């Protein structure tokens, strides 16, 4: 499941809307919506994210957050380390090979570190 898919699913379920109804209301197939929620499809287009924001009446910061999650929700990621240090290349390769075996708490710690580091450099 992707961050975007998880958020959409929570929004949908919290409002008691079935996947089939939401898909029909958005004029997309329920199979596509299910695949988005489960992370089996690539990131959604900006227009679909805007439709979903409108559907749930999401505005301002919450809409920006949903767009941010959509941009971070591509289930097949490519990391280009050309021109970076050997350590960066090793790290990217180890992460690619080991991510399925890492416990959730370790992933959460690494994600927190990356987000904190990003904020410190903005």
Instruction: Summarize pLDDT for 32-56 with one digit per residue, the tens.
Output: 999 999 989 988 999 999 999 999 9
Q: Which CATH class is domain 3-71?
A: mainly alpha
How much is the pLDDT for 33? 97
Rounded CA separation 73/71 (Å): 6
Quickly state the pLDDT bin for 7 (edges 50, 70, 90). Answer: very high
Rounded CA separation 98/33 (Å): 29
How much is the pLDDT for 121? 73
How much is the pLDDT for 118? 76
Nearest C-alpha neighbor of 96 from the set 75, 77, 73: 77
The separation between the first and the last C-alpha atoms of the chain, rounded to the nearest angstrom, is 29
pLDDT tens-digit series, residues 53-99: 999 999 999 999 999 999 999 888 899 999 999 999 999 999 999 99
How much is the pLDDT for 1? 87
């Amino acid at each position: 499941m992707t961050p975007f898919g998880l958020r959409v699913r929570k929004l949908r379920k919290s409002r008691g809307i079935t996947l089939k109804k939401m898909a029909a209301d958005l004029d997309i197939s329920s199979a596509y919506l299910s695949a988005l929620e489960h992370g089996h499809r690539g990131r959604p287009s900006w227009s679909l994210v805007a439709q979903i924001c409108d559907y749930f009446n999401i505005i301002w910061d919450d809409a920006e957050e949903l767009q941010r999650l959509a941009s971070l929700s591509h289930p097949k990621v490519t990391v280009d380390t050309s021109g970076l240090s050997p350590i960066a290349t090793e790290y990217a390769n180890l992460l690619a090979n080991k991510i399925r075996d890492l416990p959730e708490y370790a992933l959460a710690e690494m994600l927190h570190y990356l987000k904190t580091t990003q904020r410190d450099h903005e």
